[in-house]
Amino acid sequence: MKYSMQNEFAIRTPLLPLENNEVLTKSKEPSFKEALCVSSISLFDSYNKGDLSEEQKIKIEKYRKRMSNRATPFGLAATQSFTRFQNNTMDVERGIRLGKLKKFIRPDMEWLNDVINMCEKQVFRNLKVIFVNDCEIVRDKLINIWHRNNQDTERSRDKVQINHTFAVKKVIELARNYTQIEVIIKELMSTYPEVEEVKIINFLQELLDKGYLWSDLRCYFFGNKQFELFLEKLNSYKMKSELNGKLKEIQLLMEEYNRTEIGEGTGLIKIIQGKMKSIVSKKRCIHIDSTRDIDSCKLDQTRINEDLTGFLEFLSQHTFKLSAFRTSNVVNSFIEKYGDTEVPLKIFTDENNLEQLFEDNYMLQEEINIRKEIENLIEMEKMKGEKIVDLEKLSQRLEIQSTEGELPIFSELPVSITSRKGTYTYHLNPYLRSIEHGKIAGRFLYMDKIMQEKYRESFNKVEKVKDVMMIEPVFFPKLDLIGNVFHSPIYSQQINYFACGESGENGETSEPYDLNDILIGVHADKLYFKSRKYNKRVHFINRNSANTKFFPKLIRFLFLYSENFYESPFELIELLDSISETNIYMPRVIYKNIIIRPE
């Protein structure tokens, strides 16, 4: 398989130099201290006092290694930026000049969700709501299949249901568009004059808590200005309370923090955390990401291009397509059952076992055999005491069938800087293809607009469709740190909200989307999704690609078959990455000048 390299690329850089072997348990390096404070305030407090246990010293050492050896963006430990190769982007010293580090602080989604619940109650009568109609009527029940219960934040439920009464039908009729709750109350009181107002209010509050009503305060979980857009909408309600004043104060402190240099924001972090916990006490209240000024970041394009081209040529010898194998049974089954008819998604999911649609074909026997072979070879190298595995030599002992064709790639260069002027090393992310944009920068909300554009570009290159609807499931986080980091609860069984929208100058606007509108069909031996209402192809995007195996079955199905518009190849490097997840003592893997997997 041949690759065509795109001119754009992502660059990632750790905070500290690669060869930084300083014992930081005795150091007072400001940038390290702030990065540590972002990652763990309790560990930072002990470190700052100089009162560390042996276990804490080991943790400090792990953070130090992560901030110098791993270009994995996490807090301030490493940065990520997008840029392009330019014809004259050549640094005469053949090195990297890193621009100014920019910080982005935002509320933790679990904290923000609780704050919104509080605000909804304070402005309840004036609150504008819309009825979420992705529901199923079963006898006398209205089942909220794809949404979670906002009232129960401690646990997950398979479904939420209420009695499908005439009162509920009346609310559905009144709230087809965003409508003030006060208006709904008056209409219900007019319809049911014998019912006390307090009972009607409690009834509407229950609909809101259980996710049947969706307020306009919840429309701003997209883009890079979630908190700002939420407060802007809250201000339109003219809510005069102590809570509103505290939120504005936190916003100003966050803006002040974003303006600080690296190493100067530690005090503000603790102040912001304290004020946020005075409103809602959570283990984690904030998340901080960082990027570099790409205008002053120069790379030796010649060296990178030569190394990448060589590596991709090598990789193409050990690549074969999977999508045709993985989806052929499903496509054939669809054609046998439905022919060339477009079928509503709800009917399709009711009549088919979603688990079998992707689990049975998730790993081919070829993958299993190659994985076992690679693991055995690596184990042999470890037994010899080897700390570095040369991928080029390793691959000579493998037999992988190559595939014809061409696939565009979007490269990502995790760069480890060194303190020696004009020198650097770089790694390659295992996800090279353009279809994997979500896995390159999925959780970085300040890159949201870029990600949307790249999804469209990738889709259009394959489908030749000028206008494609992008729909993203939005999860509310629960009590899980990993889920919060990736802007989604990895063990949630409900989908709170499907939304489609556009990115604009003032952030991303979105509107609820009814999944009952989706059709599924087959074209060119591939499943596709289509909107009846808009008569457009639909692509379900996932900007939170980490931990997708924990997502609900329906979501995984939508993501997988959206991606299967593309030719998704299996690559040797993907197997190395998956093996490393279960083998923490795996040696470093290299290919010529490229470090594929660091220690």
Q: What is the pLDDT of residues 333-386, one digit of tens each?
A: 888 899 989 999 888 877 877 666 654 444 556 667 767 777 787 778 778 877
Note the pLDDT of residue 216. 86
Inter-CA distances, 520 with 137, 210, 287, 347, 537, Å: 22, 29, 38, 10, 10
Interhelix angle 266-277/30-39, rounded to 10 degrees, is 20
* Cα-to-chain-centroid distance, residue 518: 23
Note the pLDDT of residue 388. 72
What does DSSP assign to residue 475? P
Note the pLDDT of residue 174. 94
Is the predicted pLDDT of residue 506 greater than 60, yes or no? Answer: no
Segment 173-190 shows an average pLDDT of: 94
Q: 568 vs 144, which has greater pLDDT?
A: 144
Confidence of residue 221 (pLDDT cuts 50, 70, 90): low
pLDDT tens per residue across span 440-470: 444 444 455 555 555 555 545 544 555 667 7
Least confident of 172-186, 347-361, 372-386, 424-438: 424-438
What does DSSP assign to residue 416? E
pTM score, whole prediction: 0.64
Interhelix angle 54-69/30-39, rounded to 10 degrees, is 110
Note the pLDDT of residue 504. 41
Q: 196 vs 141, which has greater pLDDT?
A: 196
Inter-CA distances, 59 with 197, 285, 288, 405, Å: 57, 22, 20, 47
Distance from C-alpha of 556 to C-alpha of 545, rounded to nearest angstrom: 10
Confidence of residue 559 (pLDDT cuts 50, 70, 90): confident
Inter-CA distances, 561 with 139, 326, 521, 522, 525, Å: 32, 10, 11, 11, 12
Q: 482 vs 591, which has greater pLDDT?
A: 591
Distance from C-alpha of 150 to C-alpha of 169, rounded to nearest angstrom: 21
Note the pLDDT of residue 24. 46
Note the pLDDT of residue 445. 46
Can you say whether the dihedral through the CA atoms of 155, 158, 162, 163 is positive or negative?
negative
Distance from C-alpha of 262 to C-alpha of 23, rounded to nearest angstrom: 20
Note the pLDDT of residue 153. 41
CA nearest to 204, candidates 113, 112, 143, 131 = 131
Is the predicted pLDDT of residue 268 greater than 80, yes or no? Answer: yes
Share of the chain above pLDDT 90, in %: 16
Segment 568-577 shows an average pLDDT of: 58
Are 326 and 364 a contacting pair, CB within 8 Å? yes
Note the pLDDT of residue 526. 78
- What mean pLDDT value characterizes the chain? 70
Note the pLDDT of residue 545. 45
Confidence of residue 84 (pLDDT cuts 50, 70, 90): low
Least confident of 124-133, 324-333, 503-512, 580-589: 503-512
Share of the chain above pLDDT 70, in %: 51
Note the pLDDT of residue 443. 45
Segment 410-439 shows an average pLDDT of: 46
Name the burial class of residue 196, with classes exposed (0-12), middle (13-18) and buried (19+) by CB atoms within 10 angstroms of its CB. Answer: exposed
Confidence of residue 422 (pLDDT cuts 50, 70, 90): very low
